Chains A and B, each alone.
Chain A
């Protein structure tokens, strides 16, 4: 080893704009300083203006009674509840529509995406038309369209459509028989938990059997039957503690049962159908991104088409599908704020709408709405990014 001494980097003032490394740091410090100065100015300005106008600030209003009603609530709520409680109702409603929307949009999107690649000309054309139509019409319009369809084209409760006995579709929404849990129902829930655990155990067992003997069990169908049969057995063993609350027409509307209101239905349909068209394109692109050579190599080994899709194509396509899929989930969650157009009481309609109008606390209300959307979005993104990292491809 030759004796080369380490030379400490010397620093001259002009390095700040001539040396690449120093310039990079210098520019970043300047930019950050500029940003902070701007924020300080805005905040200071706002506080001054509010003081001059004599407007109170603070989150104390959340404890005041809201004095407005909400049509769909997942928790107990009435007009004597506080603004804070109204906010929670809004959060739950946003969460509900986002969760329902994400599940159905994913199912529909994957199905349409795979069908669009179908060799059947008619099917692939139909899917093409669906995608091109729905993703090129503004979402707000679609929500209003579905709402109008439910409210104006469906009959009144008196003449409600009854596709299946006990299920009513009218301009007041979809009414289903609701479960009513009597004493002893807990046995069923325990049975369900046991069944899920059993299904997982069976999955492990089937994998071990395959590894040792090569025998392949139909894992999915057997797991599903365990999950269905065990709670059913528990239901009968416990003396049928769960009864169905059948909806019945009483006056101008239905009493009892479980009601999905028109606002919810319209928003759910529109978000699902709109987002699914984007997801289907993402899925199609993901599958097509896997080179045809992979399919051929799998076929040449004697692996059948459906197994090739499952073992070779989808695991690779998923890597391409996931990042844009996350964006679509976030879009759907944020797009659910269009709920206000049909009066679905989500977070924007409750704290960001009526509460804001009643109390005049615009800054506070909007900061809450912002914080909640950020929490929703960042959580989804965190979970999906973690999953994405898990399936990443190893190269070099």
Chain B
């Protein structure tokens, strides 16, 4: 648990492994949703996961902070293996931030209270300090002036930026994005992507499930294509988009780049 600003990670540390998944399987009842996933993510790496709906990409990143339980294989996050041990789950969740498709801000709390809730109750940060940290991050996502408003009073793009700030307030080492722009009106997508690009440039380890291929080209070190619960192909963005290997990848790319 480093209290230091983990997002400004020097390049020399990038050889450290942030997430290690070995032979991970998951079933929803009879449905085999993740099949033999092997994935290693280095600290500071930025990964974009894409694939058709139902391919298991959301499930995969939700396994990393144990919102979903895997049934076989091993997941190690920042040196801690995820088991049913609640202490390990707690410590992993403190290090991993997550941004959801539908924002999931707490509607009964103001923007500022949304950002300070976890620092105050989980990290036991004094309120004044937590508010200072929150204002720093709200400024970073460019909405400090909305701090006293309630989520219901903000636009979708603003809400998603608050959600990102809320995660950052816990000073996570790894950020997970689960289709962060899919529920947004087109004109608001770029304001959220800008924030994510800024975060990527600061050296944050990121795993993003998204269909924003422009974002993938711009910031990703690696693009992963999933279909039917399997990782079909992974490559750097240049190779992935210009020279896809598998037929399924080619079909998918032709479908989403078509329009």
Contact = CB atoms under 8 A, between A and B. Distances in A.
A212 B108 contact: no
B205 interface: no
A296 B106 CA distance: 11
A316 interface: yes
Interface in A295-321: 296-304, 307, 311-312, 315-316, 319
Contact of A300 (B96, B102, B124): B96
- Interface SS majority for chain A: helix
Interface residues of B, number: 36
Interface in B124-147: 124-130
B103 to A, nearest CB: 8
Contacts of A9: none
B106 A312 contact: yes
A293 B159 CA distance: 14
A214 B152 contact: no
A302 B122 contact: yes
Interface in A204-250: 210-216
A307 B120 CA distance: 12
Interface string B101-127: 010111110000000011011111111
Nearest to A294: B104
Interface in A373-396: 391, 393-396
Interface string B51-73: 00000000000000101000000
A214 B126 contact: yes
A301 B170 contact: yes
Interface of B: 65, 67, 86, 90, 93-94, 96-98, 100, 102, 104-108, 117-118, 120-130, 150, 152-153, 163, 166-167, 170
19 contacts: A210-B120, A210-B127, A212-B128, A214-B120, A214-B125, A216-B124, A294-B106, A296-B67, A296-B100, A296-B104, A297-B98, A297-B105, A300-B97, A301-B117, A307-B121, A391-B108, A393-B150, A395-B107, A395-B153
Interface of A: 210-216, 291, 293-294, 296-304, 307, 311-312, 315-316, 319, 391, 393-396
